[in-house]
Structures are given as C-alpha cells and as structure tokens.
Amino acid sequence: MHRNSERVIEQFFQSFYFHHIEKEYKRIDGGPSSAMFWFSIMDFYSGIYYIGETGIKQYRYNEQKRGFKLAHDKAVELYMKQYFPILESEYFNILYKVFRNGMVHQIAPKKGDIDWYPEKAELLWVDNSNGNIMAYLNLYKLQELTYNSFMAFYQDVINSRWDWQCDNVCRELIDKYDSLEDEKELKKAYQALKTKGISI
C-alpha cells in the first residue's frame, strides 16, 4: 500500500471513527440528532475528499489563508457526485442548503421536515401544493447513502485507487497543522485557562 494512503487511514479512518459510525448506523430509527450526525460525516469526509481531489484548502479569508473550512458546499457537491447515486447527487442544493444548513444555522430547517421512512425508497421529495413549498427528508435513506458513501471512500483508499490524492491530503491536512487535532487544541485551550489562573 502507498505510504501516504496508510497515513490517511491512520488519521481519518481509524477505529475511533468506525466505532461511532457503526454505532449510529445500527439505530433502528432516528431524529434530529441522527440527521446532524450523518451531515457531520458528510461534511468531514467530503472535506477530506475535496482536498485530495483538488489539492486546495478553502478558507473563510482566502487571501490571508485564515479560517480554514473543512466543510463547505463545493466539497459536499464533489463528494456526492462521486459516492452518491446519480439521481440523489442532483439533490445536493436541497439536501445541503435547506436541511444541513437549516439544522446547523437555524436549529431546524424552516422549509423542511425530517422523518424516518424505511418503507420509502426516496431520499427526499418536495410538496408545492397550495403554494406553500415544503421539502421532506427521509432520514433512513440519508443514513444508508451516507454510510455507503463512507465505506466506498474507505475502499478507494485501502485499495490504492486514491494514492495521489492521499499525497495531497497528507501535504495539506496532516503535515500542516490546521486545528483538526483535538489533543493539540485541548492542550492549547487548557494551558490558556491555566495561564489565566482558571482550573478545571
């Protein structure tokens, strides 16, 4: 296996991630917290995928390269086009901008409803009757598609179908520190509190 592929697996596909993903995947029903979990998986792995494919990091302030953004709409769109079925990948704007952004930035989507529909094959549908447009997300299908996309991405990495992209990920995410390491961030924040005389 390509050395940088091994490093990407060690960093981003370690047992910590598998444990949480498998645990959530075994749920027999889900609500808003489950939707947030699957959107966070999509955000995380699409950010890694985008950097691998493009060799480019996105920043809030691109000119100064400040405010690194792992999750952003271009990354999710690229990831979905690769790992989601063709039809569902076309739903990117509704899925990301109405549901994901609605949950992250507004507590809940104003024009969307999320529920668990294992009997339905559709990921989402829109009701525009009565002139009041509303989108509906099938959380069961979101879970299935996001889990399958994660596993397909992992298979690409371990089966050497993503070697040169792993070089980009190592260069941009592992070799350059950008606040993705919880331990470093925890130590830094803890030390700052101690410096102020605050003990926790």
Q: Encode pLDDT of 52-96 as tens digits.
A: 999 998 888 767 677 788 889 999 999 999 999 999 999 999 998
Q: Encode pLDDT of 145-177 as tens digits.
A: 999 999 999 999 999 999 999 999 999 999 986
pLDDT at 107: 77
pLDDT at 33: 85
pLDDT at 178: 62
Percent of the chain whose pLDDT exceeds 90: 60
pLDDT at 97: 87
How far, in Å, are 10, 24, 25, 41, 69 from residue 37 at the CA level?
22, 8, 10, 6, 18
Q: By C-alpha distance, which of 59, 14, 74, 43 is closest to 172?
A: 59
Q: Encode pLDDT of 130-148 as tens digits.
A: 888 999 999 999 999 999 9
pLDDT at 187: 83
Q: What is the mean pLDDT of the chain?
A: 89
Q: Which two tokens stand for residue 113?
A: 């409803």
What residues have CB less than 8 Å from 4, skipping those under 6 apart? 163, 166, 167, 169, 170
CB 112 within 8 A of CB 125: no
